[in-house]
Amino acid sequence: MGRMTPQEFAKGIGEGLLSFPVTHFKDDFSFNEPAYRDHIEWLLQHKPGGLFAAGGTGEFFSLTLDEVSRVTRAAVEQTKGRVPVVAGCGYGTAVAQQFAKAGEEAGADGFLLLPPYLVNPDSAGLAAHVETVCKSTKLGVIFYNRDNAILNEVWLAKLCDRCPNLVGFKDGYGDIELMTRIYARLGDRLTYVGGLPTAETFALPYLEMGVTTYSSAIFNFLPKFAQDFYSAVRRRDHEHVYRELREFVLPYIEIRNRKKGYAVSIVKAGMRAIGRPAGPVRSPLTDLDVAETESLTKLIAGRS
């Protein structure tokens, strides 16, 4: 089977809930490939619309180029074409091009282009960065709008004209007016992905702005809950959505917000809570403490 075109890639990721697998580490913080592959296979049983290998929840920021390649290749080999595999890509322009090349060689179907490292560029410079990375690959690219990488609808429209393989827009910024302007201008030229942490909180209002899917970190440890919640969002079942927000998602967020960096750490704690440990997080992140882990375990117990 041939690799997806960028347009096929965009269509695929827009049709279902997206899973953001953690990257499994051993106690010495090395990549635990067998455990990662086992996790991918378990997630696939719950029918995600796509898998993000070595993304934000997968600790892309702590992985070497070689490790990102290994993680991506493991995900590609394990999925066997059942769902699109989206590889992480980022840092400065030259390094991002290296990640794009490595992802292609590892068999990824497309990329999530994360913000460039440290700098706060002008829109013209950021657009040049995105265009250069897009033109370095034939695969579909999703631009991640967050932190120091924010583009408005005018610059996105220019990039869409220049880069046919820029096919996705993931929003982690949360500006409702900007999101509305982007969707009003570009419509179905892009596939829109919710990327605010925790994405379930924003899923219902974002659906009205053309954001048909989102990446769920909760999918890692409560895949059935995540899929049921997504189904309720898509059918606009407000009663179901707000009940689950009150009873699980908002208490989960309260634990997540206790310390910086817990958006990833809490997911690995959730994995431990269901008996599918993924190892520790790498520094500079820290794992949840005992009391926080106990609170999360009790919360998850009613949903497993």
Residues 229-238 have pLDDT tens digits of: 999 999 999 9
- Mean pLDDT throughout 30-49? 98
Segment 155-183, tens digit of pLDDT: 999 999 999 999 999 999 999 999 999 99
- Mean pLDDT throughout 1-30? 93
pTM above 0.85, yes or no: yes
Beta strands in the chain (DSSP E): 18-19, 50-53, 85-89, 110-113, 140-145, 166-171, 191-194, 213-216
φ, ψ dihedrals at 196, nearest 5°: -80, 145
- Mean pLDDT throughout 138-144? 98
Nearest to 185 by CA among 151, 146, 135, 149: 151
Per-residue confidence band for 25, with pLDDT thresholds at 50, 70 and 90: very high
Is the pLDDT at 142 greater than 70? The verdict is: yes
- Mean pLDDT throughout 181-199? 95
Per the DSSP assignment, residues forming a β-bridge with 111 are 87, 141
Per-residue confidence band for 3, with pLDDT thresholds at 50, 70 and 90: confident
What pLDDT score was predicted for residue 118?
A: 87
Q: Which residue has the higher pLDDT, 4 or 141?
A: 141
What pLDDT score was predicted for residue 228?
A: 97
Percentage of residues of the chain with pLDDT beyond 90: 95
What pLDDT score was predicted for residue 2?
A: 62
- Across the chain, what does the average pLDDT equal? 96
Alpha-carbon dihedral angle through residues 259, 264, 269, 272, given to the nearest 10 degrees: -170
Is the pLDDT at 145 greater than 60? The verdict is: yes
Segment 263-281, tens digit of pLDDT: 999 999 999 999 999 999 9
Cα–Cα distance between 95 and 106 in angstroms, integer? 16
Segment 76-133, tens digit of pLDDT: 999 999 999 999 999 999 999 999 999 999 999 999 999 998 899 999 999 999 999 9
